[in-house]
Amino acid sequence: MSIFKSCDIRGLYGQELTPAFARDFGQTVGTALAGGRVVVGGDARPSTPILKGALIEGLLAAGCYVLDAGLVPTSAMYFAQQWLKADGLVMVTASHNPPGYNGFKLMLGEWPITEEVLQALRQQMQAGRFRQGNGYWDRADVLEAYQADIARFFPAGRPLKVVVDAGNGCFSRVAPAVLHSKGYQVIERFCEIDGRFPNRDPNPAVAAHLKGLAEQIVAEGADLGVAYDGDGDRAVFVDESGHILPGDQALVLFIRHRLRVAQTPNKRKVVYDIKCSSIVADETKRWGGLPLMERSGHTFIKTRLLREQAGLGGEISGHLFFGELGRDDALFATLLFLQILSEAGQPLSALMADIPYYPITPDLRLPCSPEEQEAILAELPAAFADHEINTVDGVRVVFDGGWVLARASVTEPLITVRFEGNTEARLQEIQTEVAQRVPTLGRLLGQRAASKHHASH
């Protein structure tokens, strides 16, 4: 499989991703930017300094003015591009992937990278058509300015107690410092930078990875817990009882807070990814907002947020976007969460108590051939032609009281399926109906159920 994904580059270091690749990629990016100003940063993985050094070599060979931000969270890199008036950025990171992986996130200009632009870079790199020049390197200390920029949006709060689980990632020093400055009591968990991620998996969106955090919150009597991913652009929140909030539930809390006081139509727009629970759209409408469903993926949500000049955006994975920033930012999300708690004077569980919960499955990853993928994506809309169907990202069929979403993976030989129902009974009914009326998908779901049954005995 290619290391060129839909909107970034990701692969195993030393196998798919090498210093030679990084150098060529740097010269390709430098060529696309005509030797302009580029800010470069990286996460804490052991391979990052090597890849970053090679990347910078390539950028310099294309005549770029390289501003090296060092080890920084991805959120700070987006700020740095604007603050330094850079033409583009490259962040060396594999985000939430295991430590053996690495990759590149990038921007060329003010808008997120598109699939088309990334594929054009790939073709240019393969052709070896590079700009030649003599670039210039300089250090760019951005963390202090980034921290001050985020902190300025928020007043000091009540001395709430928050457990910060940085997972040994990029926010290990940054987040505790900013939260302390606002008067919060911070209990640090895995806040020593170590890109081997020795204490927990860098993906906080998997509940099993946060079991220890949930237990510590209860033991410490904390008001909130927050966990970040490896490069610090996603946040997952945990309430005082140790209950982990999915990303769409956190987004609902922000919707209620923001739409209550939103002054303009644009500020009432909420962009959300197609995998989110229907509660996001329902709550947005309830508070007088306009829900805008979008394809899953950071690039797609951010682009839609900018195009619509929307007030909020979010993904179930923990990316949370804010109109005043024009981007996602996990530290901003944490401070806003604490501000809401501080003003409410109630435990988080009480604030969430009246938000309906609709039973929803995780992504069911079903191994299958390309032919089976095609068959499912053709059979599903045909079988439910009299239903509302959305094809912005795979096929999403809306039922009375629920939905099903099927998406073909572009990186693995499988299809992912997710179901939701407004009750457990309705969820089961939708799953049964889909399995009966879409034969190929029904067979794969049956195989999955049989293998799980066999594994449990």
Domains and CATH numbers, the chain: 9-142 (3.40.120.10), 158-238 (3.40.120.10), 247-352 (3.40.120.10), 364-455 (3.30.310.50)
pLDDT band at 453 (very low <50, low <70, confident <90, very high): low
pLDDT surpassing 90 at residue 448: no
pLDDT of the residue at 18: 97
The proportion of the chain whose per-residue pLDDT surpasses 90, expressed as a percent, equals 91
Taking only the tens place, the pLDDT of each residue in 419-437 is 999 999 999 999 999 999 9
For residues 195 and 437, give the distance between their C-alpha atoms in angstroms, rounded to a whole number: 47
pLDDT of the residue at 397: 97
Taking only the tens place, the pLDDT of each residue in 302-358 is 999 999 999 999 999 999 999 999 999 999 999 999 999 999 999 999 999 989 889
Contact 270, 310 (CB under 8 A): yes
Closest CA to 228 of 93, 53, 50, 127: 93
Query: Averaged over 79-83, what is the pLDDT?
Result: 97
For residues 181 and 174, give the distance between their C-alpha atoms in angstroms, rounded to a whole number: 11
pLDDT band at 456 (very low <50, low <70, confident <90, very high): low
Amino acid identity for residue 339 in this structure? Q
pLDDT band at 2 (very low <50, low <70, confident <90, very high): confident
Enter the pTM of the model. 0.95
For residues 295 and 271, give the distance between their C-alpha atoms in angstroms, rounded to a whole number: 10
Query: Averaged over 230-246, what is the pLDDT?
Result: 96
For residues 404 and 434, give the distance between their C-alpha atoms in angstroms, rounded to a whole number: 8
pLDDT surpassing 60 at residue 1: no
For residues 419 and 404, give the distance between their C-alpha atoms in angstroms, rounded to a whole number: 4
On the CB side of 55, how many CA atoms lie within 13 Å of its CA? 26
Q: Which residues pair with 388 in a beta bridge?
A: 398
Going across the sheet that includes 364-367, the strands are 364-367, 414-421, 402-408, 395-399, 388-390
User: Which tokens sit at 207?
Assistant: 């509940």
Q: Would you name the residues annotated as active-site residues?
A: 10, 95, 319
Amino acid identity for residue 9 in this structure? I
For residues 53 and 102, give the distance between their C-alpha atoms in angstroms, rounded to a whole number: 14
Query: Averaged over 256-270, what is the pLDDT?
Result: 91
pLDDT of the residue at 230: 96
